[in-house]
Amino acid sequence: MSLPRVPAAFGYRMPAEWHPHAATWLTWPKDPVTWPDRVPEVQEIFLQFIDALTPHERVCLLVDDGDVAAQVRERCAGRALDAANLQLIEIETVDSWIRDYGPNFLLGPAGELAFNHWGFNAWGGKYETLMRDASVPARLDALREVPKFDPGIILEGGSIDVNGAGTVLTTEQCLLHPNRNPGLTRQDLEGYLRLFLGVHQVIWLGEGIEGDDTDGHVDDITRFVGVDTIVTAVEPDPADANHGPLLDNLARLRAARQPNGEPWRIVELPMCGYVMADGDRLPASYANFYIGNRVVLAPMYRHANDALAQQTLQELFPAHRIVPIQCEPLVWGMGSIHCVTQQQPQSSVPLSPM
């Protein structure tokens, strides 16, 4: 059911990713255009996600039909997963970027579940076929009775990150790009974020990393890891194209203040060098991790900084197990772990499995 007013009017807000989850949503990968000659490897990566997540939370995996569901069940046989926590949902999709086209879940003042159905235009109209996934949230039968809000503008889930306490991170490169919402000003967009995410403060960073076809999604560069703590990617090599933009973002974060006037705690995360495909740089970043219940799925790239990135995340999440996953095949599709996951927070009225 769709509500005529905005989430903030009902006391809804987007919780932080570390808020306890009821489920993680995924879409089974299959597109050979997205992952040329790598679909089997990417599917194995998704199975590693399921192995790591299902002991601690439900995984809602979107599959095209019953044949695909049977194939997935066969692939899962004998693996270290909790099969009772794997829910296969038959719904046709084009691709796996559910972070950007999927439901953006919210919680109300008494823990009630709702979601935003933002518009999705395949990152500024770059991939016409993928625009069909914009309808996925409206076609999910499991959410038919969950209150739904329709903001009426384009916004991808990877372009925002919240601390659950009133602050959102985003980038000027993405949200202000004319290929998303031409005619809307910075002030207009801040208004939408306040009304539909339940935030009070917007921290604007500048640009994302080289090779990012999303026009600078924040989840590749800077993430909240605590109510007052932000981890941000840095590149010390001045010859690297990422050096300047990431240095600028670091300076903006250091100048920003929490609502109480205190500085944010800023933790630096290394970059992973050059991950290439056919001579082009891919948007590989350790910042594209995913925070699950009791585990953090961490992208690795067989780089010298892998160990340091894993250690940094472990220090930031001492109560979680860091699960390193080699993601070079996945990032060939121009995204990594966070881009293909979507968290559903634990709510006061749990959804029944379909």
Q: Which residues sit opposite 2 in a β-bridge? A: 148
Give me the residue label for tokens 């590989």. Answer: 284
311 vs 249: CA distance, rounded Å: 23
Q: What span, in angstroms and rounded, lies between the C-alpha atoms of 123 and 77?
A: 36
Burial class (CB in 10 A: 0-12, 13-18, 19+), 242: buried
> Is residue 339 flagged as an active site residue?
yes
Name the pairing type of β-strands 86-90 and 290-291: unpaired
C-alpha to C-alpha distance for 58 and 295, rounded to whole angstroms: 13
- Report the DSSP pairing between strands 161-162 and 167-171: antiparallel
**Neighbour order of strands in the sheet with 113-116:** 104-107, 113-116, 148-149
Kindly give the pairing relationship between strand 295-300 and strand 321-326. Answer: parallel
Give the separation between CA 118 and CA 121, rounded to whole angstroms: 10
The four Cα atoms 173, 99, 139, 95 give a dihedral, to 10 degrees, of 90
Cβ pair 223, 229 in contact under 8 A: no
Catalytic residue, from 60, 174, 327, 339: name it.
Answer: 339
* 243: three-class secondary structure by DSSP: helix
Catalytic residue ranges: 339
